[in-house]
Amino acid sequence: MQRRYRLDWALLPAGWARDVTVAVSASGTIDAVTVATAADRPAGDAQRVAGYVVPGMPNAHSHAFQRALAGRAEARAAARDSFWTWRHAMYAIANRVEAADLRAIATLLFVEMLEAGYTSVAEFHYLHRARDGEWDLAPDGTPATWEAIRAAARDTGIGLTLLPTLYQTADFGGVPLRADQHRFQATTAQFLDAVERRSAADRAAGAAGAAAVVRTGAAFHSLRAVSVDTMREATAHLRAHDPTLPIHVHVAEQRREVRACERATGARPIEWLLRAGVVDDRWCLVHCTHATRAELAAVAATGASVCVSISTEANLGDGFFDAVAFRRARGDLAIGSDSQSTVDPAEELRWLEYQQRLRRRRRNVFATPDEPHVGTALWRSAAIAGARALGQAVGEIAVGRRADWLALDPAHPALAGAAPEAALDHLVFAGARAAIREVCVAGRRVLADHRHPLRAAAEAGYRAVVQRLDAR
Ligand SMILES: [Zn+2]
């Protein structure tokens, strides 16, 4: 059955509009958007959404299990801590988590995402095997850890693109996986079979009219973990199965990775990946921290998006992403929470802008000729790029898109005196996250009065998991 909503104020593709009526189909897609004139108030049968309504933000890069490490790797463990010493701590968690633990961790994480304004998430998932090393299959035939993520998304109501991730070698040149990487291992045939079965099941559910909030894509962990020959072979299979399937890969996050790639191949990682001829506009390249301007322009020319997670890249000491050069090349830039050291789209966007202010000693770097409000410019472009990265029709309040949005409360002190045009400036730069009063995914209100209904239960479940992990 179609539902109708009347939004007091909404950020539409053409800008802010007042008294907007939105019709949403049973599957959660927006069928019609009507802006009322003063003389033409919408009919009274629509459900009112008070406040300033903006598109929900897709989170284009997440590793859910790493939430259990957030805040727990901030004490110096080596004379010179780095990404690589952090990875040691991360693997220690990865090797203690069972599927049931993962479900509890992801449930709290997805509650936190929804409360912060992420309405969908791409889960880059390489924790496939059980702790004893077996493919541990859920009743539907997919690995139990995949099902754990899917269950957490269903329970919390967040949109999900599950990206099962191929991870086969420890470094360039086919170096075998280490013992602490064994849970990540899959043969190419095992991986493709499971991805294609899972993806076909999602599509069948969508065709049967289920709300289209969950889909399956695929990822290659990195050039260290998958050879380009395997990427070519697997991409050809996946494209034959579904030409629209989103495919993600980590690339050029660390200088050590750049040097290792140059030693092994004679090319830099982004060069080497693009040379493989597999990247198209359904790909998302995660990080691209150590990229030349020519590489960023070449990525933009493929139509692929890039996802950055400034909070994680800063936390891990990765380096600066040249967002200005990528924008200049007309690249699509999405954001993600990655290692979950913090989970907040406003923080990602604030630091995207702040990095450039610090570097250039200027303000309002990412304003555009059409959009002087930096918060709005950043939010809109990241939402649209994130939608492409997830392969989901979200990111805008428009016909054909899914009804994913946030309503900000203008009566909240954090938005005092803010016109709708400035609401996202307050959210991104002035801590107005507390003003997110309700969140809607596929036309269903998943959060009202600032708090997800599962928060208390999710916190209790998470606390119990952390105690279990510490005891293991
Ligand atoms: Zn990552």
If one compares 84 and 219, the residue with the highest pLDDT of the two is 219
Q: How far is the CA of 63 from the centre of ligand 1 (A)?
A: 6
Q: Are strands 247-251 and 218-220 parallel, antiparallel or unpaired?
A: parallel
Q: How far is the CA of 176 from the centre of ligand 1 (A)?
A: 21
- Strand, coil or helix: what is 433? helix
Q: Which of these, 316, 314, 341, 287, lies nearest to 81 by C-alpha position?
A: 316
Q: How far is the CA of 287 from the centre of ligand 1 (A)?
A: 8
- Strand, coil or helix: what is 51? strand
Identity at 149, one-letter amino acid code: I
Question: 31 an active-site residue?
Answer: no
Q: Which of these, 379, 328, 330, lies nearest to 352 by C-alpha position?
A: 379
Looking at residue 88, its pLDDT comes to 84
- Distance (Å, rounded) from C-alpha 277 to C-alpha 236? 11
β partners of residue 30: 24
Looking at residue 41, its pLDDT comes to 60
Mean pLDDT of the chain: 94
Q: Work out the pLDDT band at 40, boundaries 50, 70, 90.
A: low
Q: Work out the pLDDT band at 211, boundaries 50, 70, 90.
A: low
Three-state helix/strand/coil letters over 260-300: HHHHHHCCCHHHHHHHCCCCCCCEEEEECCCCCHHHHHHHH
β partners of residue 242: none
Number of H helices, E strands in the chain: 14, 18
Q: Work out the pLDDT band at 37, boundaries 50, 70, 90.
A: confident
Distances from the Cα of 294 to the Cα of 270, 309, 322, 328, 334, angstroms:
10, 21, 12, 12, 20
Looking at residue 43, its pLDDT comes to 59
Q: What DSSP character marks residue 39?
A: T
Q: So what CATH class is 58-390?
A: alpha beta
Q: How far is the CA of 130 from the centre of ligand 1 (A)?
A: 21
Dihedral sign computed on CA atoms, order 105, 110, 112, 113: positive
Identity at 245, one-letter amino acid code: L
Q: Percent of the chain beyond pLDDT 90? A: 86
Q: Which of these, 124, 170, 94, 401, lies nearest to 285 by C-alpha position?
A: 124
- Active-site entry in 322, 332, 338, 409: 338
Angle at 172 between CA 166 and CA 175, to 5 degrees: 80
- Distance (Å, rounded) from C-alpha 100 to C-alpha 147? 10
Q: Which helix (H) or strand (E) holds 18?
A: strand 15-24
Looking at residue 141, its pLDDT comes to 81
Q: How far is the CA of 338 from the centre of ligand 1 (A)?
A: 5
- Active-site entry in 287, 290, 373, 452: 287
> What are the residue ranges spanned by the domains of the chain?
3-54+398-455, 58-390
C-alpha 271: how far from chain center: 25
Q: Percent of the chain beyond pLDDT 70? A: 98
Identity at 329, one-letter amino acid code: A
Give the pLDDT confidence of 369-415 residue by residue, as tens digits: 999 999 999 999 999 999 999 999 999 999 999 999 999 999 999 99
Residues with CB under 5 A from ligand 1 (ion): 338
Identity at 408, one-letter amino acid code: L
Give the pLDDT confidence of 282-319 residue by residue, as tens digits: 999 999 999 999 999 999 999 999 999 999 999 999 89
Rama region for 214: left / alpha / beta (φ>0; ψ in -120 to 50; rest):
beta
* CB 49 within 8 Å of CB 7: yes
Name, in order, each residue with C-beta under 8 angstroms of 256's C-beta and a sequence gap of 6 or more: 84
Q: Which of these, 420, 417, 436, lies nearest to 375 by C-alpha position?
A: 420
- Strand, coil or helix: what is 311? helix
Q: In the structure encoding, which two tokens stand for residue 239, read together?
A: 């494209």
Q: What DSSP character marks residue 37?
A: P
* CB 250 within 8 Å of CB 60: no
pLDDT of 252 strictly over 90 = yes
HSE-CB for 342 with a 13 A CA cutoff: 15
- Distance (Å, rounded) from C-alpha 385 to C-alpha 380? 9
If one compares 138 and 35, the residue with the highest pLDDT of the two is 35
CATH number at 3-54+398-455: 2.30.40.10
Q: What DSSP character marks residue 41?
A: P
Name, in order, each residue with C-beta under 8 angstroms of 155's C-beta and a sequence gap of 6 or more: 107, 110, 454
Q: How far is the CA of 286 from the centre of ligand 1 (A)?
A: 7
Looking at residue 350, its pLDDT comes to 98
Q: How far is the CA of 75 from the centre of ligand 1 (A)?
A: 21
pLDDT of 222 strictly over 70 = yes
β partners of residue 122: 161
- Distance (Å, rounded) from C-alpha 469 to C-alpha 464? 9
- Distance (Å, rounded) from C-alpha 286 to C-alpha 341? 17
Distances from the Cα of 461 to the Cα of 65, 100, 106, 109, angstroms:
14, 10, 10, 11
Q: Work out the pLDDT band at 17, boundaries 50, 70, 90.
A: very high
10 Å CB burial of residue 333 (0-12, 13-18, 19+) is buried
Give the pLDDT confidence of 357-368 residue by residue, as tens digits: 999 999 999 999
Question: 338 an active-site residue?
Answer: yes
- Distance (Å, rounded) from C-alpha 127 to C-alpha 106? 13
10 Å CB burial of residue 152 (0-12, 13-18, 19+) is buried
- Distance (Å, rounded) from C-alpha 148 to C-alpha 140? 12
Q: How far is the CA of 337 from the centre of ligand 1 (A)?
A: 9
Q: How far is the CA of 280 from the centre of ligand 1 (A)?
A: 20
Q: Specify which of 88-92, 94-98, 210-214, 301-305 reaches the highest per-range mean pLDDT.
A: 301-305
